[in-house]
């Protein structure tokens, strides 16, 4: 049984995912529950029911849940229940051992406030049952007191046969969407065991908007105010596009940027004014001042964009400051309309490496120059940008950041973002309520309201006399201010939704305040953190400050097995070596730092005569931070029994037998940059080529090395990697805060030694060669000392095919 039950009341979505599984085998086996939920949602409950015993998750402060947290982390399960999945989703996964002929019911609940974008709300449900399901059901009930204007439901997997199964019932204020294909209807083909149900089920809807000052709903002493007045004329905008043309933008990125810019320029309104700045190491404005977006000027700008090509390095600081100057000049020279909105749209794919390259200093410079007088929207193209840097800089300047994923639809991503922010209706929006009637209100000042979006304010009522509930709205736009009594709705489906919506909004805004407010004192940030934590615990939300601890049933050795689900946060790491230990559901990682040119023995198995050595290479020159990175760029592989030598570099592949070039080793080159080497009746090696922009001032192309079927090696296998092919015994205890909150330290007992280790992450590119996958691991410091046998220098060899 797989059921998704979603109830939406006034944009607040409450989703319950249930899965019931039966172990039909005659022996106990592991049963898995794996679902995906939106990144904007908070998990509020998780439970497992096994043989009439219910195991319920409990939301706790991370530090206070230390006993369970330690136990989970020592098993490699920290944050292991929640991982990133694609652009908008997180994956929640858990498994439990179930006795023969027994069943288990998993139930996961999460909540989120739906955001209005481009004129609609969206409910995205990802379903991937991976098998035929006897009872499969998606049910969504929507209740909107304002009235529903339209509802649309579709799915990425809907065939012509499945489409009629989507039942949609819509009345004035309610909508119900029901989808429940039978077992036979789920089959990918007649008689097949495969399922068609694999993808996203998406519902889009909007509400009626007849009231100028929006709609207020009150339930059990809490109110929520939705403000998105209809029929407001758009306010003219003055926009400067700041476009990165550094060498790393070469190829597909520059082409997609051109295509998006051509479409965006066509979309400018004639009352808008605009400018274009191209930057690499130099800053090149298209014109020295803003220019009106009439057809002649737009055509000229499009011809200019068509000539755009990549070159040089990245000077973000001076490019943005030049854009600020253009907008200031437009105001001082009275070029632009008095009532208009100023904005900068920055597109970059890399890190600043020319001019000012200190990230906090760039943020300070930009914030001081803008002075609260314009909005900055930052688009980070690809995986090499410091997204956190862009995110903070955008939010500090009345804007936001958006990651543009390197993919075939990047042009549409760019256009979609522009469409969201291209039609400002109001700026400096203040929503005011009677001081003696409300308290604990969420943010009630907003820098702007864009066409197709919505402002939401919630708070607690102190006065239940609603006959004189005066709402005042002040904003810059066509009308300077408005105030009136508004109609109050007091209908509802589930009683505490307004209070939970208020709590959700408050926690989100507190977390944002503590991370973005660079000018705030440590006390202010501490207070925001403490309040967000208290509310997360009170309302049972899994946020970045809390964890959900689930205690699984006792195992055969009589001990329970706690699991910890954390809200995902972005962390990074770059160890050279990742040792996965599937038996323990854990991984170890370490760096080996040595001078460029050094050759290390990675694998040596004398019985079949298999040898793998790797040579490191350094950066082209010393980077600004003074740290030279080293990478593997060449591997030598020997199979002595076959008399074969294979040399793989970042440039080419050579195979030799007895000095002659032959092909006795099977290899497969995919359409990406990977090579699979299969040694007959033995192990497989996967080598991945990571391409770096050829004109990058520091970095070079490098190779990644992975071993598949390592269990086929003999017990005598050794080397920096080989020594771990048959596992390693260790114990982790005494978990404690580390230098970075997301990376706690601990004590590891291994090979009779006591080591200080840190919980980190390593990118594994086997399944996703483009972006990689974050694998949690215990990081062993100082070249793996204490974990590896002997010293790192013991593994240095004199040649690519040498053993000493």
- Residue that finishes a domain, picked among 194, 209, 224: 209
- Residue 667 is assigned to a structural domain of this protein: yes
| 660 contact partners, CB below 8 Å, separation of at least 6 | none
Joined together, the tokens standing for residue 78 give: 């920290």
Averaged pLDDT score across all residues of the chain: 83
370 pLDDT more than 70: yes
- Assess whether 268 and 202 both reside in one domain: no
Joined together, the tokens standing for residue 110 give: 């999460």
Backbone angles phi, psi at 63, to 5 degrees: -70, -35
pLDDT of residue 629: 76
Q: What is the pLDDT of residues 595-607, one digit of tens each?
A: 888 999 999 998 8
Q: What is the sign, positive or negative, of the torsion defined by CA atoms of 437, 440, 441, 443?
A: positive
- Residue that finishes a domain, picked among 382, 404, 422: 422
Whichever domain contains 47, its CATH number is: 2.60.40
668 pLDDT more than 90: no
Tell me which residue of 354, 403, 353 sits closest to 383, measured CA to CA: 403
- Assess whether 264 and 188 both reside in one domain: no
- Assess whether 187 and 277 both reside in one domain: no
| CA–CA distance, 222 with 216 (Å, rounded to integer) | 10
Whichever domain contains 308, its CATH number is: 3.40.50.410
- Assess whether 737 and 631 both reside in one domain: yes
- Residue 475 is assigned to a structural domain of this protein: no
| CA–CA distance, 664 with 643 (Å, rounded to integer) | 9
Q: What is the pLDDT of residues 255-283, one digit of tens each?
A: 889 998 998 999 899 999 999 999 999 99
- Assess whether 254 and 157 both reside in one domain: no
pLDDT of residue 707: 85
- Calculate what percentage of the chain has a pLDDT beyond 90: 31
- Assess whether 198 and 243 both reside in one domain: no
pLDDT winner (highest mean) among 52-66, 228-242, 286-300, 733-747: 286-300
Buried b (16+ CB within 10 A) or exposed e, 591-607: bbebeeebbbbbbbbee
Other CB atoms within a 10 A radius of the CB of residue 171 amount to 9
Mean pLDDT of 544-565: 64
- The pTM of this model reads 0.68
- Residue 16 belongs to what domain range? 2-209
Q: Name which of 37-46, 202-211, 613-622 the model is least confident about.
A: 613-622
pLDDT band at 34 (very low <50, low <70, confident <90, very high): confident
- Residue that finishes a domain, picked among 379, 406, 422: 422
30 pLDDT more than 90: no
pLDDT band at 58 (very low <50, low <70, confident <90, very high): confident
| CA–CA distance, 684 with 676 (Å, rounded to integer) | 7
pLDDT of residue 570: 45
What's the per-residue H, E or C state across 560-605?
A: CEEEEEECCCCCCCCCCEEEEEHHHCEEEEECCCCCCCCEEEEEEE
| CA–CA distance, 530 with 203 (Å, rounded to integer) | 36
pLDDT band at 637 (very low <50, low <70, confident <90, very high): very high
Q: What is the pLDDT of residues 416-441, one digit of tens each?
A: 889 888 888 888 899 998 888 888 99
| CA–CA distance, 141 with 5 (Å, rounded to integer) | 8
Q: What is the pLDDT of residues 762-791, one digit of tens each?
A: 777 766 666 667 778 888 988 888 999 988
76 pLDDT more than 50: no
Mean pLDDT of 187-193: 84
632 pLDDT more than 70: yes
- Residue 196 is assigned to a structural domain of this protein: yes
Find the radius of gyration of the CA atoms of the chain. Answer: 29
Strand duo 445-450 + 455-461: pairing: unpaired
pLDDT of residue 625: 52
- Residue 144 is assigned to a structural domain of this protein: yes
Structurally, how many domains does the chain consist of?
A: 3
- Residue 394 is assigned to a structural domain of this protein: yes
574 pLDDT more than 60: no
- Assess whether 194 and 257 both reside in one domain: no
- Residue 801 is assigned to a structural domain of this protein: no
Inter-CA distances, 530 with 68, 545, 564, Å: 22, 9, 21
What's the per-residue H, E or C state across 67-128?
A: HHHHHHHHCCCCCCCEEEECCCEEEEEEEEEECCCCEEEEEEEEEEECCCECCEEEEEEEEC
- Residue 300 is assigned to a structural domain of this protein: yes
- Assess whether 673 and 762 both reside in one domain: yes
| Beta carbons of 665 and 679 less than 8 angstroms apart | yes
| CA–CA distance, 582 with 98 (Å, rounded to integer) | 20
- Assess whether 262 and 176 both reside in one domain: no
CA angle 510, 544, 546 (to 5 degrees): 105
- Residue 487 is assigned to a structural domain of this protein: no
- Assess whether 246 and 192 both reside in one domain: no
584 pLDDT more than 90: no
Mean pLDDT of 408-417: 86
453 pLDDT more than 90: yes
Mean pLDDT of 507-520: 74
- Assess whether 581 and 701 both reside in one domain: yes
| CA–CA distance, 775 with 614 (Å, rounded to integer) | 23
pLDDT winner (highest mean) among 376-385, 473-482, 564-573: 376-385
CB < 8 Å & 24+ apart, contacts of 355-359:
355/281, 355/315, 355/317, 355/318, 356/315, 356/317, 356/318, 357/317, 357/624, 359/386, 359/389
Mean pLDDT of 530-535: 88
Mean pLDDT of 186-215: 86
Q: What is the pLDDT of residues 154-169, one digit of tens each?
A: 998 888 888 889 999 9
pLDDT winner (highest mean) among 85-94, 469-478, 608-617, 681-690: 608-617
- Assess whether 25 and 165 both reside in one domain: yes
């Amino acid at each position: 049984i797989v059921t998704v039950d979603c109830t939406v009341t006034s944009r607040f979505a409450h989703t319950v995912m249930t899965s019931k599984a039966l172990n039909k085998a005659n022996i106990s086996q592991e049963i898995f529950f794996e679902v995906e939920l939106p990144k904007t949602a908070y998990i509020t409950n998780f439970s497992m029911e096994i043989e009439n015993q219910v195991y319920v998750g409990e939301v706790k402060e991370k530090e206070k849940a230390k006993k369970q947290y330690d136990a989970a982390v020592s098993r490699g399960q920290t944050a292991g229940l929640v991982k990133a999945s694609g652009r908008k989703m997180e994956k929640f996964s858990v498994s439990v051992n179930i006795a023969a002929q027994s069943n288990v019911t998993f139930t996961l609940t999460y909540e989120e406030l739906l955001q209005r974008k481009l004129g609609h709300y969206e409910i995205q449900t990802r379903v991937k049952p991976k098998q035929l399901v006897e009872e499969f059901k998606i049910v969504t009930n929507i209740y909107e007191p304002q009235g529903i204007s339209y509802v649309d439901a579709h799915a990425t997997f809907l065939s012509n046969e499945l489409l009629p199964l989507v039942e949609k019932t819509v009345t004035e204020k309610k909508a119900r969407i029901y989808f429940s294909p039978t077992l036979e209807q789920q089959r990918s083909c007649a008689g097949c065991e495969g399922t068609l149900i694999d993808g996203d089920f998406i519902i889009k809807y909007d509400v009626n908007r007849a009231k100028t000052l929006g709609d207020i709903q009150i339930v059990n002493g809490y109110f929520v105010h939705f403000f998105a007045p209809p029929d407001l004329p758009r306010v003219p905008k003055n926009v400067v596009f700041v476009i990165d043309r550094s060498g790393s933008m070469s190829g597909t990125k520059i082409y997609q940027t051109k295509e998006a810019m051509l479409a965006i320029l066509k979309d400018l309104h004639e009352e808008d004014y605009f400018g274009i700045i191209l930057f690499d190491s130099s800053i090149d404005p298209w014109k020295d001042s803003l220019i009106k977006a009439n057809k002649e000027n737009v055509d000229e700008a499009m011809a200019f964009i068509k000539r755009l090509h990549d070159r040089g390095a990245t000077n973000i600081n001076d490019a943005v400051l030049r854009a600020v100057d253009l907008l200031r000049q437009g105001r001082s020279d009275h070029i632009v309309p008095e009532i208009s909105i100023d904005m900068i749209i920055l597109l970059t794919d890399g890190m600043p490496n020319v001019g000012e390259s200190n990230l906090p200093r760039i943020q300070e410079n930009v914030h001081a120059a803008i002075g609260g007088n314009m909005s900055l929207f930052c688009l980070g193209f690809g995986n090499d940008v410091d997204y956190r840097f862009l995110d903070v800089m955008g939010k500090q300047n009345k804007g936001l950041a958006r990651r543009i994923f390197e993919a075939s639809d990047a042009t549409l991503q760019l256009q979609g973002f522009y469409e969201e922010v291209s039609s400002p209706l109001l700026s400096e929006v203040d929503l005011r309520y009677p001081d003696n009637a409300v308290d604990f209100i969420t943010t009630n000042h907003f820098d702007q309201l864009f066409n197709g979006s919505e402002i939401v304010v919630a708070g607690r009522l102190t006065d239940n006399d609603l006959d004189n509930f005066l709402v005042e709205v002040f904003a810059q736009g066509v009308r300077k201010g408005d105030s009136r009594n508004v109609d109050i709705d007091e209908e509802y489906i589930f009683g505490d939704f307004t209070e939970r919506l208020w709590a959700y909004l408050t926690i989100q805004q507190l977390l944002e305040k503590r991370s973005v407010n660079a000018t705030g004192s440590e006390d202010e940030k501490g207070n925001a953190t403490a309040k967000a934590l208290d509310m997360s615990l009170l309302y049972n939300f899994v946020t970045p400050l809390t964890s959900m601890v689930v205690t699984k049933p006792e195992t055969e050795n009589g001990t329970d097995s706690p699991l910890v689900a954390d809200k995902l946060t972005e962390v990074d790491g770059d160890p050279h070596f990742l040792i996965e230990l599937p038996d323990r559901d854990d991984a170890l990682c370490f760096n080996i730092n040595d001078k460029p040119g050094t050759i290390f023995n990675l694998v040596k198995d004398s019985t079949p005569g298999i040898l793998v050595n790797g040579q490191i290479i350094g950066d082209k020159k010393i980077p600004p931070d003074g740290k030279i990175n080293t990478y593997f760029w060449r591997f030598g592989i020997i199979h002595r029994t076959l008399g074969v030598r294979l040399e793989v570099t970042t440039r080419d592949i050579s195979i030799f037998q007895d000095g002659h070039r032959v092909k006795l080793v099977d290899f497969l080159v995919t359409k990406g940059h990977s090579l699979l080497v299969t040694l007959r009746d033995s192990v497989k090696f996967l080598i991945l080529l990571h391409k770096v922009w050829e004109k990058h001032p520091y970095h070079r192309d490098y190779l990644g090395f992975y071993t598949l079927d390592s269990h086929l090696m003999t017990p005598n296998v050794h080397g920096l990697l080989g020594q771990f092919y048959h596992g390693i015994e260790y114990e982790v205890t005494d978990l404690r805060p580390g230098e970075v909150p997301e990376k706690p330290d601990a004590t590891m007992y291994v090979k009779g030694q006591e080591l200080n280790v840190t919980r980190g992450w390593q990118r594994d590119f086997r399944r996703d060669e483009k972006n990689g996958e974050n694998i949690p691991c215990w990081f062993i410091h100082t070249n793996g000392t204490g974990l590896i046998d002997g010293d790192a220098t013991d593994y240095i060899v004199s040649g690519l095919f040498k053993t000493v």
